Amino acid sequence: MTEPLNRRVSRRAVLKTGVQLGLTLPALSLIESYAGGQTAAFAQSAGTVEISWYVGKDVTDANKTLVQTFNSRQSRIHVNWQEQPPSTSDQHDKYVSVLAAKDPSIDVFALDIPFVPEFASAQWLTPLDDLFDRAELNKNFFSGPLKGAVYGGKLWAVPWYNNAALLFYRKDLFDAAGVKPPATYDALVQAASKLKTPDMEAGFTWQGSQYEGCAVDFFEYLWGHGGDFFNDKGEVIVDRAPGLKALQFMVDMIHTYKITPIAVTTWKEIEARNVFVQGKAVCERGWIGDYAIANSAGSKIIGKVGITPLPAAAGRKGQSVLGTWNLAISKFSKHQKEAAEFIRFMTSAEAMKVGYQRAGRIPPRHAVFEDADIRKQYPYIDELKPVFEQARPRPVRPDYGQISAEAIQPNLAAALTRQKSVPAALKDMASTAARIAKASR
């Protein structure tokens, strides 16, 4: 965290600081263009407005770099960076305790996509429609992330960076066998069965433990079969034919096709990834960041990994659940306009470029995908764009967390371990979700 500035900083000093921080020339141009025309106005203001940004732990220098850059370019606003625990659940609980007490100590905070409707419904967020141009956002951002930032017709957050799932596959094995990356579930089963070697633990790894990650996987299979959890009227429809096919496929991968071991019912992201990275699986369903891990020190498959969109039922396109993180303003902040200025900076295309280059954060703005430096650094960038064009948020509802924990997760676990039949698990899932939805109206 940097000390407040007590004087105006010269352009030369800013550029020197930027070079010391390792910013590229395009990134330095960002800072100048962002502050251009505003620095003089800031300098005329008496005093400095202090705002606090609460955000999860960053193991890179991306957040530090951007906060220091923002602070160094003007003297009216100074951001204090309040780093939180890495656990999403711990961050959620911290925010709830602060916001429920109407504590103004948080100005800006980073929110996982399910937090947005929950916190908006609790009246803990500042609506942003008067602070941001919705038409500009709609033009320049992918539609999925924006849908996750809107609740009740109002904008409550601005997408900061994206995450989505891909199918990772052993490109060396596929190429040697002349097999194409699977676009359908049938092709996935065939490839995972054919290319699995005796020393491998799995043909296909995914997340089957009783937690939110398994619920996320289920939504992807549900959408991949043409289904949904709620209809446009808010009625639960998960127990219809597509939902039955989706859950049956998850069960069959373990017990019928045997491309995934029963151990998957204890796997979260780390376990599923480790099996693949250690060369013990043919394919993996994982988040985008797994590509870098699979090609880093300690991996046994460096240079052997291919990526492709998630498969789907024949005639359909695979859809990933969005893992977008957003920036929002606390309703209890005493500096909402200044907080909006910081968010506008952090969600600009150039700032997102810095975040992508330094921390691998996938930008929700279209323009960054066309940037020459980004395309050189991430040669697979073209393969990601269709993933984000198809990606969707989980149900944008304030009661989603309860529905997932009480209706979705336990019934998925019961079906995967054959404690319940697929029809019984879906029936119980739907009835419990309908009860929670009715109570929350």
| 248 lies in some domain | yes
Q: Are 159 and 173 in a shared domain? A: no
Which region, left, alpha or beta, applies to residue 254 given φ > 0 means left and ψ of -120 to 50 means alpha?
A: alpha
Query: The whole model's pTM is what?
Result: 0.82
Q: Are 40 and 186 in a shared domain? A: no
d(C-alpha 121, C-alpha 151), whole Å: 8
d(C-alpha 280, C-alpha 196), whole Å: 9
- In this structure, what token pair is assigned to residue 121? 């419904």
Q: Are 278 and 425 in a shared domain? A: yes
pLDDT for the residue numbered 421: 98
Domain CATH code at residue 226: 3.40.190.10
Q: Are 85 and 117 in a shared domain? A: yes
| 174 lies in some domain | yes
| 229 lies in some domain | yes
pLDDT for the residue numbered 379: 86
Q: Which residue has the tokens 């959620």?
A: 92
Instruction: Note down the domain range covering 309.
Output: 165-321+399-439
Helical pair 336-346 and 62-72, crossing angle rounded to 10 deg = 120
Residues near 343 by beta carbon (within 8 Å), at least 6 away in sequence? 108, 158, 327, 329
CA 104 to each of CA 92, 98, 263, 331, 356: distance values in angstroms, whole numbers, following the listed order: 17, 8, 46, 8, 31
- In this structure, what token pair is assigned to residue 271? 């376990």
d(C-alpha 394, C-alpha 213), whole Å: 12
Q: Are 195 and 209 in a shared domain? A: yes
How many domains does the structure of the chain reveal? 2
| 146 lies in some domain | yes
CB 104 within 8 A of CB 330: yes
pLDDT for the residue numbered 24: 40
Q: Are 133 and 247 in a shared domain? A: no
CB 5 within 8 A of CB 43: no
pLDDT for the residue numbered 46: 53
Q: Are 49 and 147 in a shared domain? A: yes
| 2 lies in some domain | no
Q: Are 111 and 176 in a shared domain? A: no
CB 413 within 8 A of CB 425: no
Alpha carbons within 13 angstroms on the beta-carbon side of residue 209 total: 10
Classify residue 82 as exposed, middle or buried by CB count within 10 Å of its CB (0-12, 13-18, 19+). Answer: middle
CB 158 within 8 A of CB 327: yes
Give first-to-last CA distance, the chain, whole Å: 43
d(C-alpha 424, C-alpha 93), whole Å: 33
CA angle 286, 109, 436 (to 5 degrees): 65
| 5 lies in some domain | no
pLDDT for the residue numbered 286: 96
Helical pair 11-21 and 25-35, crossing angle rounded to 10 deg = 140
| 4 lies in some domain | no
Please name which of 178, 171, 168 lies closest in space to residue 205, comparing C-alpha atoms: 168
- E strands, 193-277, where? 202-205
pLDDT for the residue numbered 64: 95
Q: Which residue has the tokens 């907080």?
A: 339
Q: Are 424 and 362 in a shared domain? A: no
Residues near 298 by beta carbon (within 8 Å), at least 6 away in sequence? 277
Q: Are 202 and 314 in a shared domain? A: yes
d(C-alpha 128, C-alpha 134), whole Å: 9
Q: Are 61 and 141 in a shared domain? A: yes
- Mapping DSSP to helix (H, G, I), strand (E, B) and coil, where does residue 79 land? strand
The one-digit pLDDT tens for each residue of the chain (441 residues) are 333 333 333 333 333 334 333 344 344 444 333 433 333 333 334 589 999 999 999 988 999 999 999 999 999 999 999 999 888 888 999 999 999 999 999 999 999 999 999 999 999 999 999 999 999 999 999 999 999 999 999 999 999 999 999 999 999 999 999 999 999 999 999 999 999 999 999 999 999 999 999 999 999 999 999 999 999 999 999 999 999 999 999 999 999 999 999 999 999 999 999 999 999 999 999 998 899 899 989 999 999 999 999 999 999 999 999 989 999 999 999 999 999 999 999 999 999 999 999 988 999 999 999 999 999 998 888 888 889 889 999 999 999 999 999 999 999 999 999 999 999 999 999 999 999 999 988
Q: Are 137 and 171 in a shared domain? A: no
pLDDT for the residue numbered 360: 85
